[in-house]
Amino acid sequence: QVQLAESGGGLVQAGGSLRLSCAGSGRTFSNYNMGWFRQAPGKEREFVAFVSESGVVTYYADSVKGRFTISRDNAKNTVYLQMNSLKPEVSAIHSCNEASGRTAKFDSWGQGTQVTVSA
């Protein structure tokens, strides 16, 4: 399992933008499909976005489609999530993980990065 570290979260007003980063280390990062997931207090963790090993295939949760963009730079072992037009309901800890479709492949998670959107 690749080791992952998320960053880039913060407090932003509704309508604002954030760019999250997920840095991988330990194994060949480019061999893995990756996903972003989020978990709000008292709620189940949910899928946000997926990117294939090469970066060619991406897909999103319906709630973020058209506003979020997932990408990766395998030379830097990093996956990004550009989040635009943020809404308060996005507020959650955002984490990355190897992905199998819309499901996280592993049940172990890093600290994630907190995203808070104020109304």
pLDDT score, position 112: 97
Q: How many CB atoms lie within 10 A of CB 40?
A: 14
Q: How confident is the model at residue 22 (pLDDT cuts 50, 70, 90)?
A: very high
Q: How confident is the model at residue 64 (pLDDT cuts 50, 70, 90)?
A: very high
pLDDT digits (tens, 9 = 90+) for 97-110: 999 999 999 888 88
Q: What stretches of the chain adopt beta strand conformation (E)?
A: 3-7, 10-13, 18-25, 34-39, 46-51, 58-60, 68-73, 78-83, 92-100, 103-104, 113-118
Dihedral Cα 19, 22, 23, 24, nearest 10 deg: -160
pLDDT score, position 63: 95
> Looking up tokens 């690749």, which residue turns up?
2
